[in-house]
């Protein structure tokens, strides 16, 4: 049984991420943890009791709307930061996925550096996948999941397992996009590509080459634009990988990042 955390602040953005998770795993046995981290701010409207009632109503509404006997729901409500509560929930329940909403059209600075989503991605203490769902994403089955890589990391089966699970679930092609800055692959990169190809041997795959643009952000946007069949983009959250580069780019402050598909961030797991 899959275990999936669904954080909510009762916004439409969070609701869209919840709906997408229920849709994506509609045929799987799942326990969903509907989670709200309450902040006691004296000047803010509403009370702790209001938040508790909102979470109860959300859970009841979700159960009625979902009407899926394969899905079970548990509510988690505590006064804590979003990051701390997600970390404890993920560790205590050995969760497989965390679904979070992200702004679909905004400056990158607002989307990433100012969001709970990126705090979770940067400081998550449990090795599980995080799926960031754009605010206005009109969800559909992912025809293709694109995994962006520079082949400088040796993937392990555990790292790619969340991606493979989704691919098998919906018979989706996995497209490995090599984003390169060099003219030729080194021997190490060739070996890493071979390892990744072997790990993905149970799913339909293809390999494409993509030249690095001005930034990781612009490269990913170009990838989406040129490949309309992409239903999800995936990155590995390594210390020196593309996702961390994305967070550090100066382009965050002045460029729009209009992502149209969910972002699947895979955890780095030692062999």
pLDDT digits (tens, 9 = 90+) for 197-222: 999 999 999 998 887 777 767 777 77
Higher-pLDDT residue of 31 and 112 is 31
Sheet holding 205-211, edge to edge: 71-79, 30-38, 2-7, 97-102, 129-134, 263-267, 230-237, 144-149, 173-180, 205-211
What is the model's pLDDT at position 222? Answer: 78
Residue 236 CA: distances (Å) to CA of 39, 101, 183 = 31, 19, 23
Identify the burial level of 214 via C-beta atoms within 10 angstroms of its C-beta, where 0-12 means exposed, 13-18 middle and 19 or more buried. Answer: exposed
Helices (H), the chain: 12-24, 48-66, 82-93, 108, 116-123, 157-170, 187-199, 216-226, 242-248
Percentage of the residues of the chain whose pLDDT score is greater than 90: 51
On whether the CB atoms of residues 146 and 233 are closer than 8 A, the answer is yes
Please classify residue 80 by burial: count the beta carbons closer than 10 Å to its beta carbon, then call 0-12 exposed, 13-18 middle and 19+ buried: middle
* Residue 160 CB coordination number (10 Å): 22
- At residue 254, the pLDDT reads 34
- Per residue in 16-26, pLDDT (tens digit) is 999 999 999 99
Domains of the chain and CATH, by start? 2-134 (3.40.50.620), 144-264 (3.40.50.620)
3-state secondary structure of 178: strand
* Per-residue pLDDT tens digits for 82-123: 999 999 999 999 999 999 987 644 333 334 333 677 778 778
Q: Which residues are bridge partners to 266 per DSSP? A: 236
Q: Distance of CA 15 to CAs 20, 136, 190, 217, Å?
A: 9, 11, 42, 26
Residue 10 Rama label (left phi>0; alpha psi -120 to 50; beta): left
Closest CA to 209 of 232, 188, 185, 230: 185
pLDDT of residue 255: 37
Q: What is the average pLDDT across 228-250?
A: 72
How many helices and strands, by DSSP H and E, does the chain display? 9, 10
Average pLDDT score over residue span 244-266: 61
Q: What is the band of 181 on the pLDDT scale with cuts at 50, 70, 90? A: confident
pLDDT the model gives residue 242: 56
Name beta bridge partners: 28.
none
pLDDT recorded at residue 248: 56
* pLDDT tops 80 at residue 182: no
Please give the structure tokens belonging to residue 53: 């009632």
Q: For the chain, what percent of residues have pLDDT higher than 70?
A: 83
Q: In this predicted model, what pLDDT tens digit does every residue of 119-159 receive, in sequence order?
A: 787 788 899 999 988 877 887 777 899 998 889 899 999 99
């Amino acid at each position: 049984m899959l275990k999936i955390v669904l954080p909510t602040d009762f916004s439409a953005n969070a609701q869209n991420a919840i709906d997408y998770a229920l849709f994506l795993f509609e045929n799987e046995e799942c326990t969903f943890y509907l989670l709200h981290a309450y902040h006691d701010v004296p000047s803010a409207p509403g009370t702790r009791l209001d938040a508790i009632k909102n979470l109860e109503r959300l859970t009841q509404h979700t159960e009625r709307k979902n009407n899926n006997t394969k899905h079970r729901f548990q509510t988690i409500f505590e006064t804590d930061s979003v990051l701390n509560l997600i970390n404890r929930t993920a560790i205590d329940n050995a969760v497989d996925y965390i679904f979070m909403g992200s702004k679909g059209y905004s400056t990158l600075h607002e989307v990433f550096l100012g969001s709970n989503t990126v705090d979770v991605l940067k400081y998550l203490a449990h090795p599980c996948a995080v799926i960031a769902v754009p605010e206005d994403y009109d969800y559909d089955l992912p025809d293709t999941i694109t995994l962006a890589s520079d082949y400088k990391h040796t993937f392990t089966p555990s790292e790619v397992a969340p991606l493979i699970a989704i691919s098998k679930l919906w018979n989706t092609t996995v497209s490995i996009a090599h984003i390169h800055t060099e003219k030729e692959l080194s021997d190490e990169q060739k070996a890493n590509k071979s390892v990744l190809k072997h790990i993905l041997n149970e799913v339909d795959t293809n390999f494409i080459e993509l030249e690095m643009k001005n930034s990781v952000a612009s490269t990913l946007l170009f990838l989406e634009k040129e490949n309309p069949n992409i239903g999800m983009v995936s990155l590995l959250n390594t210390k020196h990988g593309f996702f961390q580069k994305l967070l550090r780019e100066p382009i965050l402050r002045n460029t729009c990042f209009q992502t149209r598909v969910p972002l699947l961030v895979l955890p780095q797991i030692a062999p």
